[in-house]
Amino acid sequence: IPKSITDPLSLLLNKLPTRKPRSFQIRSFWTIRWPVICAILHELDHIYHGKEPPSPSDPGQKLLKRLFNSS
């Protein structure tokens, strides 16, 4: 992501797939970035509520399973 992007989180959230991607490159893109986005959102939730939320067991795994599920 270029440094000129002022709000990279919103940029990535706006690029979330609305249907199952066919391209391996797109699936790979989300395999790397989606767990990071989930971790960031988890931290923001902690900051906003002022208390420690339970640790996510596998951040973003539901979307990743959906992207790689062939059915």
How would you classify residue 60: left for phi > 0, otherwise alpha for psi between -120 and 50, otherwise beta?
Answer: left
Percent of the chain with pLDDT over 90: 0
Give the per-residue pLDDT at 53. Answer: 66
Q: How far apart are CA 45 and CA 39, in angstroms?
A: 10
Over residues 28-54, the pLDDT tens digits come to 888 888 888 888 888 888 888 887 767
Q: Are 60 and 34 in contact (CB under 8 A)?
A: yes
Q: How far apart are CA 56 and CA 50, in angstroms?
A: 17
Q: Which of 11-15, 19-23, 30-34, 50-54 has the lowest mean pLDDT?
A: 50-54
Burial class (CB in 10 A: 0-12, 13-18, 19+), 2: exposed
